Amino acid sequence: MTLVAGMLAIGEFMASMMFSRPVPCRFGRCDAESFQTERGGDVSYTIRTEGLVKRYGKVVALDGLDLEVPKGTVLGLLGPNGAGKTTAVRILTTLLDPDGGTAEVAGLDVCAEPVKVRKRIGLSGQTAAVDEHLTGYENLDMVGRLYHLGKRPSQERARELLERFDLVEAGDRPAKTYSGGMRRRLDLAAALVAKPEVIFLDEPTTGLDPRSRVQMWGTIQELVRGGSTVLLTTQYMEEAERLADDIVVIDRGHKIAHGTSDQLKAQIGGERVETVLASSADLPPAQTILAHFCAGDEIQVDEQTRKLTVAVTGGVEVLRQILQRLSDANIAVADIGLRRPTLDDVFLSLTGHVAEEVAENGEGSEDDRKDTREKEAVR
């Protein structure tokens, strides 16, 4: 038996077992009919959660999370490590049972009708769930077989996706020869084999180089133009700003802000003056001077880069006054500028800390391997 045939046989067995086994609900009434009745049968939201709760022992990963994602839009779920983003995705993709609340995808309750939900969703995330010993084409063909598309439709869909994701030339090479960006594109292609109407992307560009990240952004934008509904989790402010129609900021399992990028920036208002000093010895006196102009939160000080950031009102005139005061104090300035608030500023204002970046290395942790197994299962 060839490797492909062997994996198909094992995969078919696991998929049939998974798709035929009901997932028990751990809390109260959880059927889709009662949910839609209570909500007036409104299915205009492709993804919706209400009061979603998940606990791991004494740790509360989600604490009453409410989400609503209209059809054909992108929701950016923004938060640091441990905020609850991946837990929310695992519940919405039927990989975890919630301990409270309700979750609905494509008009279906994820707890009561997991089989139907899985037929309508695709999942791609932090770790590319591809078999490195198979070619790109064989990976996609295998996923099609697991979805019972049939031999010829699976093969045609595999070739179609290789072309769509610019992987035709590499399609007959083993995936282990692919770059990180190519593997990520192949993983996203695999999530689209069954043409899902809802796509979950769990930090899909983490660890990618800038060029590969921009390519992935273009691919996601193309999916949305085609009518897909996307829930995107990310820690990258630029990514959320570029891709998301709507943004929900969560921290420690709570939703702490909701709106478009511009709406969130308007919440903290004002402008920011960023000053880079020539000498770190001048940081304390410069901070004292900038405190007189501060119109918001505390002054941000980065000792390593000798940069101070302060919220101000008054625009260019305030910038001129700051420069004059620094000059009067004989404090040398290497660079200074006035800018609008960014999502980083919003996050810092809301949570008291900046969004954390994931370590960009190639070493997979046990959590990474678990994530890979779960993504393979949901397909």
Structure confidence by residue, pLDDT tens digits, 98-133 = 999 999 999 999 999 999 999 899 998 777 788 999
Domains and CATH numbers, the chain: 3-264 (3.40.50.300), 268-351 (3.30.70.100)
DSSP assigned state of 22: P
Separation between Cα atoms, residue 340 and residue 269, nearest integer Å: 9
Report which of residues 2 and 334 the model is more confident about. Answer: 334
N-term to C-term CA, the chain: 23
Structure confidence by residue, pLDDT tens digits, 311-370 = 888 889 999 999 999 999 999 999 999 988 777 777 777 766 554 443 333 333 445 445
The DSSP string of 56-117 is ETTEEEEEEEEEEEETT-EEEEE--TTSSHHHHHHHHTTSS--SEEEEEETTEETTT-HHHH
- Torsion on CA atoms 221, 225, 230, 235, rounded to nearest 10: 20
Helix (H, G, I), strand (E, B) or coil at 283: helix
Separation between Cα atoms, residue 307 and residue 303, nearest integer Å: 7
User: What mean pLDDT comes out for the span 205-219?
Assistant: 82
Lowest mean pLDDT among 41-50, 171-180, 197-206: 41-50
Q: Where are the beta strands (DSSP E) in 203-305?
A: 229-234, 246-251, 254-259, 271-277, 300-302
165, 175 contact by CB (below 8 A): no
Q: Is the pTM of this model over 0.85?
A: no
Helix (H, G, I), strand (E, B) or coil at 56: strand
What pLDDT is stored for residue 269 in this prediction? 65
Lowest mean pLDDT among 128-132, 137-141, 210-214: 210-214
* Unique residue bearing structure tokens 């492909």: 4
Residue 334 — φ and ψ, nearest 5°?
A: -85, -35
**Cβ neighbours of 45 (radius 10 Å):** 19
Report which of residues 205 and 246 the model is more confident about. Answer: 246
